[in-house]
Structure 1
């Protein structure tokens, strides 16, 4: 009968989905059974001593630091993207990192509104600190507040995991073992150098540290002791958190004196195909094409000869922007496309 499926692709697709779901569930159950977990624990301890420790030692990590970091640590089998020892890693169907998400979600009105309100509430409280950081690094306070709010809700989001548990598990049995091995060794270096004690090394489920959500390699490069207490404390010190974010942005090319961009209206005559980081034009050229700032203000005279990029993250159905190169520095912090 017309309009009624009689087997075929839809039903096959449903069966395939159910089979994939069942296999994933069975894999999780296998990893979670006591016997299997005990075996993996033993393999993990052997890997620590026979594989990781020799490399850590060669990189200057003491046995005292190594043993303290992994004291009582077992693989966390509830973390995503794990691969049973001996099996081949495959790219998971669902990616968990923010960089695999939709850019439209990053600009979701509810999210933006919450970050904006939180930033305004903290701007006055931290005005002196923000001014000092901007003077040193050239990054405006509102940018730092936006990143802080977006990453951990201005420090309100819990960062509850033991970094050595997360990084150790993922370096041992994840789909990106080499990446996490590098980060695990960097975490050991943080402790070895006295930059943070083992007990302070709290992370997200992905191993990102503290309120700015720095991976350990980023901590070593960019964490700043801005409050002058002798320690770059990105878990508890607001000045250190904000200055560390600024230092990161400067490292990746933040241009002093420029913002990140302007919200604009784009006429129908301008094609969406003109957007993207490889199609920059002088902002005066965008203006000549009929692109205007939301609210009617002209583009600043200082920006007209500078390069800008059309950004339409949700196509014509969402907001549009003329972004400066600083926008792509921000993307380096938290890539979202």
Structure 2
């Protein structure tokens, strides 16, 4: 699939993506896309036949001025976006995912899982959970776990719901894309390690999140989040320089045209810088890696309406564009 026609696909003079020509077996390539929907093949423009978005990110600070020049020059062989397949904008080596990072989302989830014999009123329960969330943001640490690159799919690809998946849910998220190796980075410097941002829909089977046979172990993120195609990504990687503030973007998901999620990244408990810094205290982040920042309120569990065959999800984030994916139920 390709994006719907738009006068402006994203903010800024250009974005990056991964494309292929229509037709069977055509190889993908990194491209510079303009807001008007023209794509420049960066392998030819930079005279690097083996170029990928990741190898481009490995020298981001030096290549970014060159990309600005290419976008401004209007030179090179540019193809209409409508003639191309759009793939996930980057193939990361590592995916870092943040859980329980939106204040209202966590409150809603806690309320949804509240025990039937909870003596508190709904108002009392919400107030107590909200107080815990505020204390987390002030004094505690982010909750970050690892996802699989093999779960990533394109921004317009169909999403297959496995036959064993009982409660598939959506989680639209802002994703930061790393530009250079980051290890033990202080919060104050963390945003300098971000090349840009994109959109991720971190699908989750709610029935698999907690192990039924070993509840003391806790969450099972492998089974609940990492089926093939469970992370639609993109459509674009928009350079960080073109976003005024990643902490003030609107995250919106529509299901079959009905708005389900509509929240600002201001509701994050831990901002992008704190998440990157925290993850880097343990792991070495690499160019092209993704840091997913968590999902806001409005998931299927909140609405009592989970994904099913034929559903169409449309996810957008301010300045980053829109992805559109259709759910296909796998036959047992």
- Same fold, judged at TM 0.5 (above): no
TM-score (normalizing by structure 2): 0.20
Relative contact order (alpha carbons < 8 A, sep ≥ 6): 1 or 2 greater? 2
Q: Which has the higher strand share?
A: 2
